[in-house]
Structure 1
Amino acid sequence: MALQHPEIARERFDELAAPRAGMCSASDRSRPFASFIVCTRDRVQALPACIRSIEAACCSHPTITSQLVVVDNGSTDGTPGELRRLAAASKMTITVVTEPRPGLATARNTGMERARGLVFVFIDDDCEVDGNYLRDLEQHYSTGEKRVIRGGRVELGNPDDLPFTIKRSRLRARLTTEVHPGGFVLGCNMTMHREVAALVGRFDERFGAGAPLQSAEDTDYLVRAFQLGIPVEYVPDMTVFHHHGRKARAAIEKLHRSYSLGNGALCLKHFFKAPWLLKHFCWTTRSACGETFGGARFDPELQLSHWPIVSMNLLGAAIFARLAMSDRAAPTELRPAGETKPGLERGQ
């Protein structure tokens, strides 16, 4: 099956975008302020805590209207039944969507299609949001710049888990070409105004968990936004707690290789429009060579090696090249319906 990607799926989505010149339409006023989008697959044990935390944050700030969209990405562990129970018992609006096509990017796209809010908030199913999350979110988007992708603080949900897939910086910062975009804003805590989603388009379904490139669907989105002149900003509030559950070093190393695979594909995909990504690959290669002769390792806490990053980067680029060639060879009539004109509002 051909996979959807932004070069094919790039529409402005005029209905999705916020009105120009500061005008506020009746449709705009009727929308919830925020749409939380949670994509889940076979995490029936973790999902209730995630949903309850979002409910609690919304109840703590009832004047800020919100919606919760949960996308079940083909779960086989009882998640559908649990979602029905949670939705029936919830005091907030929960839109439950089934997306059988595998892949986190696919699920994210489906979630955006059903999101009605002015601001999209992507939260992973193994995360819990802080009680003041909605207040922080509203403050940033009501008093700050709207055409921006913002990510907040990510703490460990369980102190026994290894310190990975977290971001604890207390300094507000914006992405530059001197910083690798991977992990600058984490996909488990990523927000954007619906106008930004209209401009950037859909997530590239070749990337992300469950897809051939395994990861980096969020990083690819950041790079594409950056290319359009849309700032990418980290803020030290809007906190979520990540219960990733990885306590063994082997699990971290496996995940690290997966991230490196996706990042290598990004280097090739954006070779001409974002050549600065290649600079980071060269720096990593140089550090790997230095590591061989006693130099520092990649992570000061976990002491991860640079060499798996280099090898998986190269493998990711090779896989992306194969996928790109396969996609060009696929006849247009064999592509999934809607691939050429997706539209985020489809299905509402």
Structure 2
Amino acid sequence: MSSGSRPFASFIVCTRNRVSALRACIRSIEAACRAHPAVMSELVIVDNGSTDGTAEALVRIAAASPIAVALVAEPRPGLAGARNAGMARARGRVLVFIDDDCEVDAHYLADLQRHYGHGEERVIRGGRVELGNSLDLPFTVKRSRVAARLSPDIHPGGFVLGCNMTMHRDVAALIGPFDTRFGAGAPLKAAEDTDYLVRAYNLGIPVEYVPDMLVHHHHGRRARAAIERLHRDYSLGNGGLCLKHLFTAPWLLKHFCWTVRSACCQACGGARFDPELQLSHWPIVSMNLLGAARFVRLAMTGPAPRAEACPIDQAAAKPR
């Protein structure tokens, strides 16, 4: 790819020990690129310390792929750090974060180009996420058919899912790197994407959900216990998030208070969290508190977030 032909979109996929699911994810991105060849795209794959043969498989996949593929190795554990490594390598005008257990719709690039070619660019934009397999439980999906924008009345967790999150590279340059204390593989286990949304909102950058830009999530969780574990991890991260932004986004504390109220109402026969899965509010409260305590411990005794420069080179998107 010459310096004068920068891609419009960079698909960034971070992976760890999911080589089977990863192949399907890559095939779906390749199919979307074939369906819209006029939209120049690249694929950046970050191997986050896999031990299942992912690295060897990726070399073969990249050699055979019809699209430009960049392979990045980030051995330090943690999804946030892997996302940062992917951003640092990406050359596209628009960064598209897709999880390795997701498959993009064939019309994804057409939707993406319409939003960023004719709509607002200074925004974080996420699309719809449907179940990839109807046998999986309806969790980590976003099925709304109504466009919306984040406001303090809406909890940012799950408003835009990290498995289908996009932004112009200039927006990423303004916000900076993901916080490596959050996310899978990190002490706070989740919410690296939610933290990014809150930081964007604090900078006056809108966060928008659109009902197209569709991906299918093959998360594979069919036992309720697996959903409850993941739900606790999300609540742990959100507790740390609330304390981190206590003074910059105090409206997050309001959502915690609402959760406490809902938990008390549940004890008196009130509704549970999530109408489909009927999850309890009480684990949210307890894990929020634990997450806040863990954030304090990290801030006082743990390692500070790695002092990383902004991983985005704004000039890389401009033809020379």
TM-score for both structures, normalised by structure 1: 0.88
Could you tell me which residue of structure 2 aligns to residue 250 of structure 1? 225
Report how far residue 343 of structure 1 moved: 4.1
Could you tell me which residue of structure 2 aligns to residue 260 of structure 1? 235
Could you tell me which residue of structure 1 aligns to residue 255 of structure 2? 280
Q: Are 2:77 and 1:102 equivalent residues in the alignment? A: yes
1:300-311 correspondence to structure 2 within 5 Å: 300-311=275-286
Could you tell me which residue of structure 2 aligns to residue 37 of structure 1? 12
Aligned residues: 314
The separation in 1 between residues aligned to 2:203 and 2:93, in whole angstroms, is 20
- Which amino acid in 1 is paired with 2:276? E
The answer to whether the 8 Å contact 2:176/2:310 transfers is: no
Could you tell me which residue of structure 2 aligns to residue 66 of structure 1? 41
- Which amino acid in 1 is paired with 2:281? H
Match of 1:344 among 304, 312, 315: 312
The separation in 2 between residues aligned to 1:296 and 1:168, in whole angstroms, is 21
The separation in 1 between residues aligned to 2:249 and 2:308, in whole angstroms, is 24
- Which amino acid in 2 is paired with 1:44? V
Match of 2:270 among 295, 304, 319: 295
Match of 2:96 among 106, 121, 139: 121
Task: Report Cα offsets for 1:227-257 as digits up to 9, x if no partner.
Answer: 0000000000000000000000000000000
Match of 2:118 among 140, 143, 147: 143
1:41-60 correspondence to structure 2 within 5 Å: 41-60=16-35
The separation in 2 between residues aligned to 1:235 and 1:106, in whole angstroms, is 27
Query: Cα distance 1:182–1:325, how it changes in 2: closer, same or farther (>3 A)?
Result: same
Task: Report Cα offsets for 1:237-282 as digits up to 9, x if no partner.
Answer: 0000000000000000000000000000011000001000000000
The separation in 2 between residues aligned to 1:343 and 1:282, in whole angstroms, is 36
Match of 2:63 among 81, 88, 96: 88
Task: Report Cα offsets for 1:153-183 as digits up to 9, x if no partner.
Answer: 0000000000000001000000000000000
1:150-165 correspondence to structure 2 within 5 Å: 150-165=125-140
Structure 2: segments with no counterpart, 5+ residues: none
The answer to which of 274-283 and 74-83 deviates more is: 74-83
The separation in 1 between residues aligned to 2:182 and 2:22, in whole angstroms, is 23
Report how far residue 345 of structure 1 moved: 3.7
SS at match of 2:301: helix
The answer to whether the 8 Å contact 1:128/1:242 transfers is: yes
SS at match of 2:20: coil
The separation in 2 between residues aligned to 1:117 and 1:293, in whole angstroms, is 53
Q: Are 2:292 and 1:317 equivalent residues in the alignment? A: yes
- Which amino acid in 1 is paired with 2:101? D
The separation in 2 between residues aligned to 1:267 and 1:211, in whole angstroms, is 17
Report how far residue 327 of structure 1 moved: 5.1
The separation in 2 between residues aligned to 1:278 and 1:287, in whole angstroms, is 14
The separation in 1 between residues aligned to 2:116 and 2:311, in whole angstroms, is 24
Query: Cα distance 1:231–1:342, how it changes in 2: closer, same or farther (>3 A)?
Result: closer
The separation in 1 between residues aligned to 2:186 and 2:56, in whole angstroms, is 25
**Percentage identity across aligned positions?**
74
TM-score for both structures, normalised by structure 2: 0.95
